[in-house]
Amino acid sequence: MIPSRDLSERDAELLKFPMRLSLVVGFLMLAAKLFAYWITGSAAILSDAAESVVHVVAVGFAAYSLWLSLKPPDRSHLYGHDKIAFFSDVPVDGIISAPDASTIYDVPLLFDGQGLTEYVMKTLHLEPRQEDLKEWKEFLERLKNPEKEVTIALVGKYTHLKDSYISHIEAFHHVSGATRIKVNLRWVESMDIEKKGAKLLEGADGILVPGGFGDRGIEGKIAATRYAADHDVPFQGVCLGFQLATVGFARETLGLKGANSSEFDPKTPYPVVDLLPEQHGVKDMGATMRLGAHEILLDEASRTAKLYGSTRIYERHRHRYEINPDYIEKLEAAGLRYVGRSDRGRRMEVFEMKGHPYFVASQFHPELRSRPFRPSPIHLGLVKAAAGAK
Query: E strands, 115-157, where?
Result: 148-156
290 φ, ψ (degrees, to nearest 5): -80, 115
Residues in contact with 287: Cβ distance below 8 Å, sequence separation at least 6, in sequence order: none
Alpha-carbon distances of 316 from 58, 91, 121, 239, 294, rounded to whole Å: 47, 44, 34, 10, 6
Q: In what order do the strands lie in the sheet with 321-323?
A: 260-261, 271-275, 321-323
Element (DSSP H or E) covering residue 26? none
Q: Hey, what domains does the chain have and what are their CATH numbers?
A: 9-131 (3.40.50.300), 147-388 (3.40.50.880)
**Cα angle vertex 299, ends 294, 303, to 5°?**
100
340 φ, ψ (degrees, to nearest 5): -130, 130
Identify the active-site residue in 239, 349, 352, 356. Answer: 239
Whole-prediction pTM value? 0.83
Identify the active-site residue in 81, 317, 356, 365. Answer: 365
Largest Cα–Cα separation, the chain: 77
**How far is residue 248's CA from residue 246's CA, in Å, rounded to a whole number?**
5
Digits of tens for pLDDT over the chain (390 positions)?
334 344 445 444 444 433 333 333 333 333 333 344 444 443 444 555 666 666 766 777 667 777 776 666 554 444 567 777 777 778 888 888 888 889 999 999 999 998 888 888 888 888 887 778 999 999 999 999 999 999 999 999 999 999 999 999 999 999 999 999 999 999 999 999 999 999 999 999 999 999 988 899 999 999 999 999 999 999 999 999 999 999 999 999 999 999 999 999 999 999 999 987 766 666 666 667 788 899 999 999 999 999 999 999 999 998 889 999 999 999 999 999 999 999 999 899 999 999 999 999 999 999 999 999 999 999 999 999 999 965
**How far is residue 270's CA from residue 265's CA, in Å, rounded to a whole number?**
10
**How far is residue 223's CA from residue 331's CA, in Å, rounded to a whole number?**
18
Identify the active-site residue in 189, 219, 367, 379. Answer: 367
- CB-based contact 199:224 (threshold 8 Å): no
State yes or no: is 147 an active-site residue.
no
State yes or no: is 329 an active-site residue.
no
State yes or no: is 300 an active-site residue.
no
Q: Which residues of 359-388 are buried (b: 16+ CB within 10 A; e: fewer)?
A: bbbbbbbbbbbbebeebbbbbbbbbbbbbe
